[in-house]
Each structure stands twice: as C-alpha cells, then as structure tokens.
Structure 1
Amino acid sequence: MSVLAVPRRALSWVRWYVTELTGENAYARYRERAEREDPGAKVLSRREFEKWRTDRKYADPTAHHGCC
C-alpha cells in the first residue's frame, strides 16, 4: 500500500459522505434506477428532477420544512 493510498481513500470517503448528506447524489441514483428499471423510458433532466423533488418535498402543507 502506497503512502498516498490512505489519505486518498479517506478523502474519497469524506467526499462520498458529504454528497450523500447533502443529497447531491440523488440525481445520479435516480438516473441509475430509471435506466435499470426501463432502459427505453424518458429520464428527467437534472433541472426537471430537482423541480420534481422540490415540488414533492413541499406538497404537504402540514409538514414543517425547517422553518418555524
């Protein structure tokens, strides 16, 4: 194992953790799942996906989303 392997692996893990925590990987997971389930189906663009995700998040008026 090289001297740089351990820090590189640690940075890779930190990057993965941060992207999972912030939801940045949500679109990549969506694309993978959509293409696997139905290879011929239309896949939403990143912008369409984020709009759909936001609309879905705020669709429930009784849920509190970090405010008040």
Structure 2
Amino acid sequence: MSLRRWAGAVRWYLRELTGEAEYDRYCERHRRHHPQAPVPTRREYDTLRTRHREEHPQGRCC
C-alpha cells in the first residue's frame, strides 16, 4: 500500500472516529433536502444532535 493510500485511510478513520464525517454527511443531506435554508454550523449541529439524543433515548444493553 502506498504512503498516500495509507494516509488517506488513516484520515478517513479519524474523521469517522471523531464524528467530522457525520457532520459533512449531514450538511450534504441538508443542502439536498433544504436548498434555501442555511446550513447549521458545527456547533449548532452538535447542539441539535445532543438535544435529539436526549429527547429520543435509545435502549442500551448496559
């Protein structure tokens, strides 16, 4: 595996791990479904996500 491919794989993994890729996917989906509405900032997105998780708790095994 070349150094460039290895670095790309590490970057992808870190973005998935930190949630950065999730925000990017959200922005793409938001632009597609609500083209006239402004895209929330990362901070606004985190607030919305936290509020949603608190209002809609999922069952956990532990």
Interval containing the TM-score (normalised by the shorter chain): 0.7 to 0.9
> Which structure has the greater CA radius of gyration?
1
Counterpart amino acid of 2:49? R
d(CA) in 2 for partners of 1:36, 1:61: 27
How many matched pairs?
A: 61
Query: C-alpha root-mean-square deviation of aligned residues, in Å?
Result: 2.3
Q: CA deviation at 1:39?
A: 1.4
Counting aligned pairs with the same residue, the percent is: 44
The aligned amino acid for 1:25 is A
In terms of fraction of residues, the more helix-rich structure is 2
- Calculate the TM-score normalised by the size of structure 1: 0.68
Q: Which runs of 5+ in 1 are unaligned?
A: none
Residues 46-65 of structure 1: pairs in structure 2 closer than 5 A: 46-60=42-56, 63=59
**Unpaired runs of 5+ in structure 2?**
none
How far 1:40 sits from its partner (Å)? 1.1
1:26 partnered with 2:22: yes
